[in-house]
Amino acid sequence: MWSPGTFLLLLLPTVLAFKPSDFKTCSQSGFCRRGRALAERSQELSSWHSPYSIEPPELSPHQPGFTTNVHSSVYPNVKFVLDVIIHEEGIVRVRMDEENGLRKRYNEATQWAFIGEPLLSDDVLWTVDSKKAKAVYGPKKDMELVVDFNPLKITLFRGGVEQVVLNGRGLLHMEHFRTKEDSKLAEHIEGEGQSVLQVNSAAWFEGDTQDAFWDETFSTWTDTKPKGPESLSLDITFPNHAHVYGIPQHATNLSLPSTTGPTARYTDPFRLYNADVFEYLADSPTSLYGSIPLMHAHSATSTVAVFNAIASETWIDIAHVEKGGVETHWISESGILDVFLLPGPTPTDVFTQYAHLTGTAPLPAHWSLGYHQCRWNYVSSDDVRGVQDRFDEDDFPVDVFWLDIEYAEDHKYFMWNKKTFPDPVEMTKDVEAVERKMVIIVDPHLKRSNDYPVYKRASELEVLVKPKNGEGEYEGWCWPGSSSWIDFFHPGSWDFWISLFKTDTIDGQWSWTESTNNVGIWNDMNEPSVFNGPEITMPKDNIHYGGWEHRDVHNINGMLFANHTFQAAEARTDPPRRPFVLTRAFYAGSQRFGAMWTGDNLGTWEHMAVGIKMVLANGVGGMPFAGSDVGGFFGNPEPEMLVRWYVVGAFSPFFRAHAHIDTKRREPYLLEEPYKSLVRDILRLRYSMLPVWYTAFRETSESGVPILRPQYVMFPEDDAGFGIDDQFYVGSSGLLVKPVTEKGVKEVSVYIAEDQVYYDYFTNQPHRPKNRQITLPANLDQIPLLIRGGSIIPTRERPRRSSPLMKHDPFTLRVALDTSGNARGEVYLDDGETYGYGKGNVVWRGFGAESTKRKGKGIGAVRISSVDLAVRTQVGAYDPKNEFARSVGDVRVEKLVVLGLGKKPLSVVLEGGSELEWEFASKDGAGVLVIKDPAVRVVDDWAVVVKLE
């Protein structure tokens, strides 16, 4: 008889490399086959039309929406109901469900994704005739929603131009609940010689076979499908938008390529089904670890989006059509139709509208924006201490050290292996003593052992996921061997999970007392990963709280694990402090509870490049705190690749190096020169720019606009930039970076969408685009990084061992004048740990440079100033002399660097003060003014005047 450990080793090869045979294609998925076959029939039949129609609704002119009955000509005895509602900001909700069916369709996705019920619009005017209902709304009254009755079609217009069309191609199909007996009766009648038309009048629409209605086999697993067929098909068309983005997570271009039609890049649709995919392909529509069913559509005149609130497995076909639009077809396994149309009309508007539904990423703990050093695994307490010592000895800044699964005794999370980690609290405090943190992994699988208090208590509370019969506990295999999983849909699990993270024993219940309140948490394997399960995950017919099958909630399941971990870590202290949680699986709304990473990538140039695209796509999907593992999880990257990858990491919101247990150690201090010094400089660059990153997080926490901004977001009217995904801007800072992701590169060409001056961040050299391009040197010791003219960049230039040690360091301001001689920027500061910013304990300064023209051509004077943005925007109960402002009252601006002056100044004066010390250098007409120690504090209003005549 095999031991659990032996069995686990036998399972591991199936999950330690990407094997296409481990995961379904559309042709191996019954409901996807049925959906694609439906689309094929629609093209073959010239008289194709949707069988769905609605009863003309009864509604008053100013109500926000209506509810009406839906009829199917294919199944006239099956009743459906449709809700069409217009919400604030012009968001349209379209909801359809089966009425009084044999069973209930899953309808709780928005309960987990949304921050609240969206508010209804009070600015709608409906008109109804015999064929359609039309709503006019919006501040300009240029928005129209047209609902055609027969066949059912819903179209959103702006200014008379179609933006989004639902069911325009007639692919809407909600498979109704039925019984096996109904199917057998039909088969029997047909067998007695009745015609197909008499027996199956739905064949023209549904097809003439019951393809995987009642069970389905993949490899050695059989899905019993006790509810029968219940899939949902819907076509969503963007007739006038040539680019679509979003639906993360996939390793592909930011502008999503076609999966069907003459321009198809892939043969399969994009799939949304959270999966543990080791060594995933760098160019594929294969589903990965997270799923956000949000798609943006963009043109030079408008941006719109659709959010499809579905939690089950979903396949999405995309076709770019000749007329310049995009047709999409969404095929989901279960759930109601619950689609939200976000009207834009700009990318920023769409981000804000989505954020008002699902929330924004909160301000993170400041330390989490520093550099994270991880490995599977640091093997002991002494190993951790030794790694920290080497970082200090070699002058590498770092904020966080991570522990993977081997810290836990027999992979019983929360419980230390005392042979290798005999003093976990002391070890953690040694790290914290120099203002650093530990992040420790807690996976969702619980070892089924009565000497494991976490499993034992969860079993007693009956909050574990159940097998298909709804009784007992589901047993699967993961790192500990035989495992069970907490059902976080079960309310009884929530307080229990919070209690585990307490560092003091409460009411005699076991908790993680061998920890500290500063430890961050890493939630991995939460798709969930089940080594002996179908597609390396949980069987779809498992049962969750409320009687829902796992198929109904699969893509939400992993999000709840991370969400409740975030709440548990937050509740460790009173008042709470900002926790850090990293999740691998995610869904819409996950952004409210932490960061994500792109999973088990490979140490290849292709994976480095696609990691940038994936992080950009996650930002489009509303989850901006993202990054890919520096160096790749698998493999041993050569030094050149590793250096380039550190640049990618340094310009990602989440910056972590990680490596597989079988790789060589690759901590940066192990590199030979010159690579070692190059990586040190990259890390120091990241730390110097932490004010930029933290300020960008403040903005995204308010607006939902992503931190990394692709070209189409920055310049939404510039067609040539819509497909660019290898360069990006950092927030509103004006920083534009194009990381090098190919071997042996010596120079790069950066696309510029405007007639504006850009400055090399390192040399201060101004560049004006030629044919919309700027060519930059890009040797291994050079980073293609530009400052957009008109920007002011705040940095802290003093090297420190960790970010909290920079709290009182002075600022340098790079003032990059635009072609008109003006610039603006800002910096946001708070304590980086608590929620005091909600009470106004912040410093938020706006910097401006305004030029006055001289009598001839050029600039006569430049006034550089600082103003209090918190006063102007009423942050909390704000007082300029708040507690935090007083704590950093000694922080000064130690240097101003002004770029773009055409001549040497006559004087540089502190307004209301004396002449300042300054230097001016000019080369080829490019002037750089350095003002040394202007004797101003970052918390104060001040102005420096540079006179040129």
Whole-angstrom distance, CA of residue 827 vs CA of residue 691: 6
CB 789 within 8 A of CB 823: yes
User: CA distances (Å), 19 to each of 221, 280, 281, 763, 945, in order?
Assistant: 17, 9, 10, 47, 64
The residue among 345, 275, 342 whose CA lies nearest residue 313 is: 275
CB 929 within 8 A of CB 945: no
Q: Locate all alpha helices (DSSP H) within 195-346, ordered by sequence.
A: 196-199, 203-206
Amino acid letter, 145: L
Is the CB of residue 344 less than 8 Å from the CB of residue 692? no
Q: Which residues of 128-139 are buried (b: 16+ CB within 10 A; e: fewer)?
A: beeebbbbbbbe
Which tokens is 498 given?
A: 């919070």
Quote the Cα angle for 259-260-261, to 5°. 140
Residue carrying structure tokens 């061998």: 514
**Catalytic (active site) residue 383:** no
Report the interhelical angle of 605-620 vs 639-650 (nearest 10°). 10
Tell me the CA distances in angstroms from 72 to 77, 174, 332, 430, one per residue in order: 8, 10, 19, 68
Instruction: Please give the single-letter amino acid code of residue 801.
Output: R
Centre a 10 Å sphere on the Cβ of residue 263 and count the other Cβ atoms it contains.
Answer: 13
Catalytic residue among 97, 162, 268, 527: 527
Q: CA-CA-CA-CA torsion for 409, 414, 420, 425, nearest 10 degrees? A: -160
Task: Compute the distance between CA of residue 255 and CA of residue 242 in angstroms, rounded to an integer.
Answer: 9
Inter-residue long-range contacts of 258-263, CB under 8 Å, 24+ positions, other chains counted = 258/318, 258/319, 258/320, 259/285, 259/316, 259/317, 259/318, 259/319, 260/39, 260/317, 260/318, 260/319, 260/329, 261/319, 261/320, 261/321, 263/319, 263/320
Pairing of strands 221-223, 216-218: antiparallel
Residues 6+ apart with CB under 8 A from 815: 792, 823, 847, 849, 864, 896, 897, 898, 899
Residue 99 to residue 80: CA distance in whole angstroms: 5
Any residues with CB less than 8 A from the CB of 435 and at least 6 apart, and which? Answer: 367, 801, 802, 803, 804, 805
Instruction: Tell me how far CA of residue 348 lies from CA of 702, 704, 712, 793, in angstroms.
Output: 12, 8, 11, 22
The Cα-based distances of 103 to 81, 176, 544 in angstroms read 15, 9, 16
Identify whether the C-beta of residue 794 lies closer than 8 Å to the C-beta of residue 692: yes
Find, among 339, 257, 349, 253, the residue nearest to 294 by Cα: 339
933 is catalytic: no
Task: Name 826's bridge partners.
Answer: 846
Determine which one of 317, 524, 552, 760 is catalytic: 524
Rounded to 5°, angle at Cα 292 from 290 and 295: 140
Classify burial at 13, counting beta carbons within 10 Å of its beta carbon; exposed 0-12, middle 13-18, buried 19 or more.
exposed
Per residue, the 3-state secondary structure of 756-817, as one string, reads CCEEECCCCCEECCECCEEEEECCCCCCCEEEECCEEEEECCCCCCCHHHHCCCCEEEEEEC
CB of 370 closer than 8 Å to CB of 397: yes
| CB of 590 closer than 8 Å to CB of 562 | yes
Catalytic residue (one of 216, 549, 600, 629): 600
Strand runs labelled E in 247-325: 270-272, 294-298, 303-308, 314-320
The token duo for 770 is: 């030629």
Give the β-pairing of 758-760 and 785-788: antiparallel
Told to judge if 742 belongs to the known catalytic residues of this protein, a careful annotator would answer no
Q: Which residues are catalytic?
A: 524, 527, 600
